[in-house]
Amino acid sequence: MCAMDLVRKGRPGDEVKITEDLARLIKSPNETVLASINTIKAEYKSMQMTLSLQGVITYDTRNIYTIPARVGGRLEKVMLKYNYQTVHKGQKVAEIYSPELVSAQREFLYMVKNDPDNQELISAAKNKLLLLGATDKQVEDLKGKGEVAYTFAIYSPYDGFVISGDVKAPTISVTPAASSQKSSGMGMGASGVAASTNVSSGSSSDFVREGSYVTSGQTLFRIVNLQSLWIEFNIPVINASQIKKGDLLTWSNRNEEKKSKVDFIEPFFSDGEDFIKVRSYYNGSAVAVGQLVNATFETALPESLWIPQSALLDMGLNKVVFMKERGSFKPRIVEAGITSGEWIQIIRGLASSDELASHAQYLVDSENFIKTSN
């Protein structure tokens, strides 16, 4: 379809065929001898990996509560009118007129006045008012005044702040940075990326308004409780297997270090991202929803072959090391894994007895590389 010749992909451990183009890239044998290339051997050992993470403080979506209309009617007053308005438990949030509530009040007052000894019917009339959204205090006030209230107050049973239906929890988004940054050396692919907070402000048009008619069971307000938050981190795919539930994370807030454990690992990837999301629950104060935090995670990696990153040449599709054989260097394709500091893991294509150039870039003729690239 593309009018291109198919070329078999090299396998780890295969010697690289010296083509005319590659020959121009590699220094000639006499230049290699004059360069006095130092050699090293791969080391079979266990490494300690420190992973730098960026996260965002966000609210626990399990703590989003709703204040429903317990009865149908018309809203006479609405006290919550915009996103992120603070709400306290017991605060009046609306006043409603409902013919059903008016009828239930009349029934209750009739029983209290005309048959005060019939506690069974009085209790049934009271329970009906409670089921329609009245509080015990409102029922007692109604009994004391002896007059029907044509508007009933609706109170919030929760502390927090109100959000409309289209407001989404803050998330951390990773985008390519304008300039290349130095790699953190943790194999997380974080170089050249920048983190930012993605916050959906939503629209207040979804809020109920004064004069609106509501039906029984309709959601009037959504309340987010800030007593329980979580921190959401992005973990690169290459390091996903290194972190598990229960691992400890160290993160900083206002120059104060805090520790929390990994409580949840999402089992899927978001569209267009090579990250998985990890959550750590946090019960505390002095943090703001949407705030970015930096964290570190340390773990011991299993024993495997490791070489300095300088000994590996990344050619795009393949990763190459230069093996020393009979006084000369020959390129070999290897399969690399994660990185830790200045070291990189070799999965296949190399043995601990192999001798290779300590600086693979020295085996590349930079002048010819520039000519070939042009």
How buried is residue 8: exposed, middle or buried, by Cβ count under 10 Å (0-12/13-18/19+)?
exposed
246 Ramachandran zone, left/alpha/beta (phi>0; psi -120 to 50): left
> What is the C-alpha radius of gyration for the chain, rounded to an integer number of angstroms?
34
pLDDT less than 50: residues of the chain: 30-35, 176-193, 366-374
Are the beta carbons of 71 and 100 closer than 8 angstroms?
yes
- Provide the pairing of β-strand 152-155 with 73-78: unpaired
Are the beta carbons of 184 and 190 closer than 8 angstroms?
yes
CA 346 – CA 264 distance, rounded (Å)? 30
CA 231 – CA 282 distance, rounded (Å)? 7
How buried is residue 48: exposed, middle or buried, by Cβ count under 10 Å (0-12/13-18/19+)?
exposed
Please tell me the total number of residues recorded for the chain in this structure. 374
CA 170 – CA 230 distance, rounded (Å)? 11
SS3 101: helix
**Which tokens belong to 157?**
């049973």
Alpha helices in the chain (DSSP H): 20-25, 29-35, 99-114, 119-131, 136-145, 366-373
Give me the residue spans of the domains in the chain: 20-47+302-373, 50-62+164-204+223-300, 71-161
Assigned CATH class of 20-47+302-373: mainly beta
**Residue type at 84?**
Y
pLDDT in tens, 175-226: 544 333 333 333 333 434 455 666 555 555 678 888 889 998 899 999 988 7
Q: Do domains 20-47+302-373 and 50-62+164-204+223-300 have the same CATH topology?
A: no
**pLDDT at residue 44, rounded to an integer:** 82
- Provide the pairing of β-strand 193-198 with 171-176: antiparallel
CATH of span 50-62+164-204+223-300: 2.40.30.170
CA 262 – CA 246 distance, rounded (Å)? 5
pLDDT in tens, 294-338: 888 777 777 888 888 888 888 777 888 888 877 777 788 888 887
Single out the residue of 88, 14, 6 nearest to residue 323, CA to CA. 14
Q: Which uninterrupted H or E stretch holds 193?
A: strand 193-198
CA 337 – CA 306 distance, rounded (Å)? 9
**pLDDT at residue 124, rounded to an integer:** 92
Task: Quickly list DSSP for 264-311.
Answer: EE-SS--TT-SEEEEEEEE--SS--TT-EEEEEEEEEPPPEEEEEGGG
CA 285 – CA 233 distance, rounded (Å)? 19
